Amino acid sequence: ALAAPAARALEAAVGPAPRLARVTGVVTEEPKTKEDSSWCRFTLAAETVAFGDASALPCAAPVLASWPAEKPPRYGDRVEFTASLRASAAPRNPGQFDYAAWLRRRGVRTEAWLRDAADGRVLSSGHGWRVVEWSHEFRRWTSARLRHDLDNEPAAAAVIASMVLGTADEAADQLADAFRQTGTFHLFAVSGFNVAILALIARGALQPLGLARGPWSPVVIVPVLVFYAMVTGLGASSVRATVMAAVLVAAAWSDRPARLANSLGAAVLAILAWDPAQLFNAGFQLSFGVVLGLMLLADPIARPWRARGAPDPFIPRRLVGRMRRTWEWMRLGIIGLLSASLAAWLASAPLMWWHFRTVTPSGLAANLFAIPLATAVLALGVLCLLGAAFSAGWAALVNNANLLVTKLLLSGVQGLAGAPGGHFHLAPPWERSAEAEVVAWDFEKSATVLLRAGGETWLLGSGHDADYARGLRPCLYWRGLDRIGALVALAPNAAHLAAAEEVLDDFRPTAVVDTPLAARSPHRRDLHDELSMRRQGKALAWRGHALPLGHGAATVRVLFPPAGWETRLGDDKGLVLRLETAGGLRVLFLGDAGFAAETWLLKNEPDLRADALVFGENGRDVSGTPDFVRAVGPRLIVRHERNRAFRRAPDEGESDRLAFHPPPGAIFLRTTDEGAVTLRAWPNRIEAEGFVSGRRERVLLESK
């Protein structure tokens, strides 16, 4: 928060467009690299910034740097580099994760992108806190010990390291979705669960010394918890849990009994006093919301079940047999586990739906076995580290025992994640219902359009795989979608089909629609191979076909291509579709079709009329010619360009292609300016809304 004025000043100096700058500063966190990435990322405390040939100016703003991974710096290094600076970009689509807002809560408003490793160098080392450097070194050592002798099980080893230390790993990331879908992701990352177990282990170690309670216990336990938070990277969840646990443990100094409600309130005040922006963080709300739910709900849920089957209170305990006492102990433990699981689920479910549109009924069952198994994983991890410094054989023995427990945990979680109804996404019930809806998404490399009518959703193109995981998929989940009616191969190129296999896995479209035209696209070939392997057919569509959408609520008519159409351009082999609703509304989807396709349509289609026109960008040819647009006669036009954050659009004078000019009287929206554009259609009007710009337009239509 103290760096906010400097961060805003740097953001204002950079402006809306990227600027080349020379930056010096100190690396304030350990650089992180994903397995499939050639870049590492870290936060830098900038010291000086120089734009162009100007002199360097003092700067005290944090900057997120993307550095080539071949020669990454380390925590505490003073570095100098030349990079493109840009303000952190806000999301351009509804439901997309707001990465810029997340960075702003950390005080970061500017990002730096290096072109290659030669553009940066390390000036000197040792400028960080020595304790933090030790924690990073210990983190690397512990991570290696926890993976010892598990080379043949990289996924399970990554899960163990992630659960014990919170390490980020590509293999672990591939399994993270199963934990999210079962409401057990708090076990996958370092959170209050890990810190609580570690505090109990530390207290147990003090028990033989008689120091487990009293004023000396915080002297030992609190530093252990703080060091653990530093080893795990000082993530927000571990810091929150450490503060809460430290407040509870430190209650021994007050010589009064610790009350969870008071300790929880003190932890909330301490965290918000340090960083008020945490209040709007989903992790903060979930962490304290679940603890509050356990406080308020667990005992009332368990109380009536404890009374049932309990021994007669008038019978002296010494007269109750051993088997009866053992059964009573087991019964109370099961009741406690069930009530805690239900209370945690009830407390987290509203927040999970509000933030992620996700409902996880399987979480009730998953936590029953996941919590005991995760406790065993953490305990075995600590046991491994205690002996690993003295014996590699000890580490191998304990790690293989931990491998068995981890596989049991993964099998159960993945089984529940794939169970029917185990999780689903739910859109807000108050969203307005229209006769038909069209969303032209705006991603960096993707060309994707959504159609909805009569409760059925189609996807025109799957988009590029680089945009899918962090872009299209969360946007579809945000709309409450778990299945779609059809995936339409709008054009045979990467922008439309690269993520087709992922769409088949995640949304299981009932139908896949493609053209019969031959194309050399590897992405189209991969789609066909995948469908063949799944034994799922595809529907071939060409001119003259009419595809029903939403049980008769609308029809998607194929206007192009005709059977036997021949061309060398892949964009001109795509589908041209027209949505026709029962109320008479028409929306024409031109896709990336260019001059040849438009010319053919003008000659062979007697009725091109549509109320709205949605078209993309042809890779080599002009599209949206005046003659074609005049024949369509749209009242509203959406140009569905891919995001051009780093390059200018052809109609800005940077290309030999003809610029597109909308006809007089037509409303023109371009995704480059508006972000995702949503069209909602009723029988007598169309409403358009730009997500980034907030622009809203309404077109009243004549009665038909």
Q: Convert the pLDDT of each residue in 595-650 to its tens digit.
A: 888 999 999 999 999 999 999 877 677 788 889 999 999 999 999 877 654 344 44
Q: At what angle do helices 217-231 and 130-146 cross, to 10 degrees?
A: 80
Q: Collapse the DSSP code of 467 into the 3-class scheme (helix H, G, I; strand E, B; otherwise coil) and give the result.
A: helix
Q: Of 579, 574, 560, which Cα lies nearest the Cα of 438?
A: 579
Amino acid 167: pLDDT: 66
Amino acid 141: pLDDT: 86
Find the length of the chain.
704
Question: How do beta strands 486-488 and 511-514 pair?
Answer: parallel
Which string of DSSP letters, residue by residue, matches 180-241? HHTT-HHHHSSSHHHHHHHHHHHHHHHGGGT-SSSTTHHHHHHHHHHHHHHHTT--HHHHHH
Q: Which residues of the chain have pLDDT under 70?
A: 1-4, 34-37, 167-174, 186, 188-194, 209-216, 233-237, 251-258, 309, 311-314, 317, 320, 430-432, 568, 570-571, 619, 643-658, 703-704
Amino acid 214: pLDDT: 63
Q: Collapse the DSSP code of 563 into the 3-class scheme (helix H, G, I; strand E, B; otherwise coil) and give the result.
A: coil
Amino acid 656: pLDDT: 44
Instruction: Give the whole-angstrom CA distance, residue 243 versus residue 245.
Output: 6
Amino acid 368: pLDDT: 81
Q: Of 297, 191, 291, 204, which Cα lies nearest the Cα of 241?
A: 191
Amino acid 189: pLDDT: 63
Amino acid 431: pLDDT: 63
Q: At what angle do helices 260-274 and 282-293 cross, to 10 degrees?
A: 170
Q: Scanning the structure block, which residue is given the tokens 């007697």? A: 606
Three-state SS letters, 279-346: HHCHHHHHHHHHHHHHHHHHHHHHHHHHHCCCCCCCCCHHHCCHHHHHHHHHHHHHHHHHHHHHHHHH
Q: What is the pTM of this model?
A: 0.82
Q: Convert the pLDDT of each residue in 157-207 to its tens digit.
A: 888 888 787 766 555 566 777 887 887 776 766 666 667 777 777 777 777
